[in-house]
Amino acid sequence: DAGVIQSPRHEVTEMGQEVTLRCKPISGHNSLFWYRQTMMRGLELLIYFNNNVPIDDSGMPEDRFSAKMPNASFSTLKIQPSEPRDSAVYFCASRPLDREQFFGPGTRLTVL
């Protein structure tokens, strides 16, 4: 099993540009989570999906952030327009029912 796959692994962009982060969860896992990690704020849950349906997006910082899960094997997190304060490592994680989370390697985003 390849584990959770995230792309790109690194992204450098300029303020105002659109950024799309991608995640392929582990096959058979029914929940998917997007996290943001910074030194100041730690690991923050942005949104999570259950069976492709967004359940809780209260952690999404503002309207510039959006997430979709069109099918069980793919999810995107989009930031439009991006700002320097969005610079962070973004993790995607998936989990089977009532089990532990499996994290992807993360995408390190730098917004200049």
Partner 1 sequence: GQQVMQIPQYQHVQEGEDFTTYCNSSTTLSNIQWYKQRPGGHPVFLIQLVKSGEVKKQKRLTFQFGEAKKNSSLHITATQTTDVGTYFCAGNYKLTFGKGTLLTVNP
Q: What is the binding site for partner 1 (CB under 8 A)?
A: 33, 35, 42-45, 48, 56, 58, 91, 93, 98, 100-106
Least distance in angstroms from the C-beta of 105 to partner 1? 6
Return the number of other C-beta atoms located less than 10 Å from residue 43's C-beta.
11
CA pseudo-torsion sign 103, 4, 84, 54: negative
Kindly state the smallest distance separating residue 40's Cβ from partner 1, in Å. 10
Q: What is the DSSP letter of 25?
A: P
At closest approach, how far in Å is the CB of 27 from partner 1? 18
Nearer Cβ to partner 1 (13/44): 44
- Cβ proximity to partner 1: between 65 and 91 the closer is 91
Our CB check for partner 1 shows the closer of 15 and 97 to be 97
What lies within 8 Å, CB to CB, of 64 at 6+ separation is 79, 80, 81, 82, 83, 86
Smallest distance, Å, CB 31 to partner 1? 8
Backbone angles phi, psi at 28, to 5 degrees: 95, -15
